[in-house]
Structure 1
Amino acid sequence: MPLRLLLVLGALSAFGPLAIDFYLPSFPALARDFATDVEHVQQSLAVYFIGLALGQLIYGPLADRFGRRGPLLFGVSLFTLASAACALAPSLEWLIAARFVQALGGCAGMVVSRAVVRDLCEPVDAAKVFSQLMLVMGLAPILAPMLGGLLLELFSWRSIFISLTLFSILAGLGIALWLPETLPTQLPRAPLRGTLKRYVGLFGDHEFLAFGLSGGLAMAGMFAYIAGSPFVFIELYGIPAEHYGWLFGTNAAGFIIAAQINAWLMRFRGPGFWLRRLSGLYLLCALSLLTLASLDAVPLWLLMIPLFLSMACLGCIAPNAAACAMARQGHQAGSASALMGSLQFAVAGLASALVGVLHDGSALPMAMVIAGCALLAAVLAWYSGQLERQALSTLS
């Protein structure tokens, strides 16, 4: 796949996460400006996840019916307008509403990028491409909190959303110039009136659901970390907001490095094999994190070790789960990508909200939710392996 196309797809994949990571250091500042607390500010994060979950269900069928480019350009335009509205927000309620619309626009890139990879690649190659996209996409959680903290220190939280507006404008230009239509012309264009039937059919595909949810639950652990880390790092351990990005970026670096190792691992075994192995390792790391978080006066450096390893495991789990889930969905790649992403972010929204609900002034709620997500992801990864073996035995 050409580097130029990889960069565009990476930017599209990063749309949703970037709008999360960029403003994380501003949580305390938002709470002060709007005369509230960090727990209420976290609602702007939870509603963003809800918007990502709902919006993807819309873009998937549109991408299968009208092609990839049109729905994508519409979504990017909506994201641009909503980002500007966030920058002008006079109240927390306004910000929360604008964040919901922002998510409805940003999720277009996530749906279409997966569909484009499925249009162009077979499963093993798709796993490699998804791993390469993690390299581009992974720069967002490394750079975004650092830049967000810098903008917060130099200007205000509003400058963060102005920057998102400019980024989306540049991404729109990249789409218009460099992203061709990839929906195969020989495939029939799926009519919109069959959307509900296709989604019902996908819910009946146990293999698709097992792979999609195993990756989604694993990534929900990352979003629990995203929701809980501003309090844990800044409030609990006293890390300055402008330095928050360095800690956040360290874990993101582990995610990126693991994703590139995953592309190399495809030389030896398929994505399903590594999905099951790495899900077990993720569970072990998450349980170690939970054990440390339950102890008193644990130093931050010690807590960071299992947290780093947990996030690194996700760099392998996410691309493998996506490749396996999309492998047999070429005739409805847009809808399959949409449902998978919607389920994943619905779970992510619940996980991030649960961190806020369980808030007790310690790192334990974050660790509990990460461990719970890792356990469910490991069970589903094992179940997906059982389904694969049953399918092979039936064919033989």
Structure 2
Amino acid sequence: MGFAAISTDFYLPAMPAMARSLHASPEALALTISGFLAGFSVGQLFWGPIGDRFGRRIPIACGLVLFIIGSLGCALSSSITIMISWRVVQAVGACAGVVLARAMVRDLYEGARATAMMSHLMTITAATPLLAPTIGGQILAFGSWRSIFTVLTVIGVLIFGLLFTLPETFPPNRRHHEPLARVFAHYKDLLLQPRLIGYAGAGGCLYAGMFAYISGSPAAYINYYHVSPSYYGLLFGLNIIGIMGANAINARLAHRLGSDRLLTLGGGIAIASALSLTVTGNTGWDGLWGLAIPLFFYTATSGFIVANSLTGALHQHPRRAGAVSALVGAIHYGSGILGSALVGAFANGTPKPMTAIILGFSLLGVFFLLLLKAPQKVT
């Protein structure tokens, strides 16, 4: 589950050195991130049905091989174009484990227990961005930026070996044995399920806002409020701790309140936080903390929204958990790319575009939450 974060956050401290070594502009270097996100989003749509057809372990193993090859290719890249190409390969491989890990939770657990387990996984996933840049910086202190991708290659090999300690969670009698072309066509059927779109859309709106925050907060904090880069890292880390705390609370409340109510609660907190953020961001009221405090509560809602949107979607389609996990994941990360792109398109040197985009997607999330009232259809 942590592959998405380590694949990018590990090398963030090395980006200036990469730019010099590969003679790349900042815009070209940014494509190593957006190219990874695009490959990660689309790649999930491939691995989900494969996992429903062949089980979980074999596709994860194949994805790990691609991740290892892509990471090694990045380490050996001689130009930014080659680097971007290998990043896409790395992303397609990395997303296999992520999408099928979520499906494995559905294979093993149901109801509130599934919600709690998903929250535990999300807590670990949230911790990864907190640690990865620090680890990457330490690697960079003893080697070049290529060493970071070499370490990622080694991590891929180690996880590949550990994969053999995991049992297969999706037995042959539960798998789909129809031709893969037909299996991929089932995405159309899934897209016609209102409740599934409700869960996926609610999570997608959160991802769009979160990526707007990730893309817009450096300029808002460092350029607009003149926060030092190290202090910015502290503020970013506090938000991740908030996400981890919310996931822990979500896991404890799952049995009492249920995933739908917790998802709605998260959506309500997100709207309240986004409204406060918009007011302070546009008026400058209370300065830096007027921005930082609402952002803390907004990002923390990830702990309620992501796990519950995934659990709710997977609950309806246990025999197609791989495809559902892939579709929801692709919508989540695709929405994230949109949120990030909108911040870039409307950037004006102030926090206003970021706050407006966060508010807009938070309000849009209400529409998707209303779709959860549609009749439930389990397949």
Fold shared per TM-score above 0.5:
yes
Task: Choose the corresponding residue for 1:91, options 56, 65, 79.
Answer: 79
RMSD: 2.5
User: Aligned partners of 1:333 and 1:24: how far apart in 2?
Assistant: 33
User: Aligned partners of 2:339 and 2:28: how far apart in 1?
Assistant: 16
Cα pair 1:25 1:241 within 8 Å, conserved: no
> How many angstroms does 1:51 deviate by?
0.6
Q: Which ranges in structure 2 are unaligned for 5 or more consecutive residues?
A: none
Does residue 1:250 correspond to 2:242, yes or no?
Answer: no
SS of aligned partner of 1:183: coil
User: Aligned partners of 2:349 and 2:28: how far apart in 1?
Assistant: 15
Residue equivalent to 1:144? 132
Matches within 5 A, 1:300-339: 300-339=288-327
Which deviations, in whole Å up to 9, do the C-alpha atoms of 1:259-292 show, x marking residues without a partner? 0100111132110011112101112112322333
Task: Choose the corresponding residue for 1:190, options 173, 177, 183.
Answer: 177
> How many angstroms does 1:133 deviate by?
0.8
SS of aligned partner of 2:316: coil
Q: 2:72 is aligned with what amino acid?
A: A
> How many angstroms does 1:135 deviate by?
2.1
> How many angstroms does 1:204 deviate by?
1.1
Residue equivalent to 1:10? none
SS of aligned partner of 1:186: helix
User: Aligned partners of 1:164 and 1:239: how far apart in 2?
Assistant: 31
Does residue 1:78 correspond to 2:69, yes or no?
Answer: no
User: Aligned partners of 2:23 and 2:288: how far apart in 1?
Assistant: 29
Does residue 1:353 correspond to 2:321, yes or no?
Answer: no
Q: Which ranges in structure 1 are unaligned for 5 or more consecutive residues?
A: 1-12
Cα pair 1:26 1:157 within 8 Å, conserved: yes
SS of aligned partner of 1:139: helix
Residue equivalent to 1:205? 193
Residue equivalent to 1:104? 92
User: Aligned partners of 2:224 and 2:23: how far apart in 1?
Assistant: 20
Quick one: percent identity of the two aligned structures?
38
Does residue 1:275 correspond to 2:263, yes or no?
Answer: yes
Q: 1:179 is aligned with what amino acid?
A: L
Q: 1:95 is aligned with what amino acid?
A: M
User: Aligned partners of 1:359 and 1:33: how far apart in 2?
Assistant: 29
Which deviations, in whole Å up to 9, do the C-alpha atoms of 1:5-61 show, x marking residues without a partner? xxxxxxxx1111322333334445545555555444332222212111211111111
User: Aligned partners of 1:359 and 1:39: how far apart in 2?
Assistant: 15
Q: 2:177 is aligned with what amino acid?
A: A
Task: Choose the corresponding residue for 2:211, options 217, 220, 223.
Answer: 223
Cα pair 1:152 1:242 within 8 Å, conserved: no
SS of aligned partner of 1:317: helix
Which deviations, in whole Å up to 9, do the C-alpha atoms of 1:311-368 show, x marking residues without a partner? 1111111111111111011111111111111121111122222222223233333333
Task: Choose the corresponding residue for 1:134, options 122, 126, 131.
Answer: 122
Change (3 A) 1:33 1:242: farther
User: Aligned partners of 1:15 and 1:332: how far apart in 2?
Assistant: 23
Q: 2:36 is aligned with what amino acid?
A: Y
Change (3 A) 1:302 1:103: same
User: Aligned partners of 1:29 and 1:291: how far apart in 2?
Assistant: 39
> How many angstroms does 1:214 deviate by?
0.9
Does residue 1:371 correspond to 2:359, yes or no?
Answer: yes
Change (3 A) 1:143 1:359: same
User: Aligned partners of 1:16 and 1:378: how far apart in 2?
Assistant: 28
User: Aligned partners of 1:263 and 1:278: how far apart in 2?
Assistant: 13
User: Aligned partners of 1:293 and 1:48: how far apart in 2?
Assistant: 30
Give the TM-score normalised by structure 1: 0.87
Which deviations, in whole Å up to 9, do the C-alpha atoms of 1:118-152 show, x marking residues without a partner? 11111221111001112222220111123234445
Task: Choose the corresponding residue for 2:152, options 160, 164, 170.
Answer: 164
User: Aligned partners of 2:140 and 2:231: how far apart in 1?
Assistant: 11
Which deviates more, 268-277 or 353-362?
353-362
Which deviates more, 84-93 or 107-116?
84-93
Cα pair 1:146 1:245 within 8 Å, conserved: no
Cα pair 1:25 1:242 within 8 Å, conserved: no
User: Aligned partners of 2:152 and 2:215: how far apart in 1?
Assistant: 20
Residue equivalent to 1:181? 168
User: Aligned partners of 1:163 and 1:19: how far apart in 2?
Assistant: 11
Q: 1:331 is aligned with what amino acid?
A: R
Which deviations, in whole Å up to 9, do the C-alpha atoms of 1:203-234 show, x marking residues without a partner? 11111111112112212222222233444455
User: Aligned partners of 2:70 and 2:347: how far apart in 1?
Assistant: 30
Q: 1:180 is aligned with what amino acid?
A: P
> How many angstroms does 1:97 deviate by?
1.6
User: Aligned partners of 1:27 and 1:303: how far apart in 2?
Assistant: 27
Q: 1:346 is aligned with what amino acid?
A: G
> How many angstroms does 1:194 deviate by?
1.4
Q: Count residues with an aligned counterpart.
A: 376
Change (3 A) 1:30 1:237: farther
Q: 1:186 is aligned with what amino acid?
A: N
Cα pair 2:203 2:309 within 8 Å, conserved: yes
User: Aligned partners of 1:155 and 1:368: how far apart in 2?
Assistant: 41
Q: 2:107 is aligned with what amino acid?
A: D
Q: 1:304 is aligned with what amino acid?
A: A
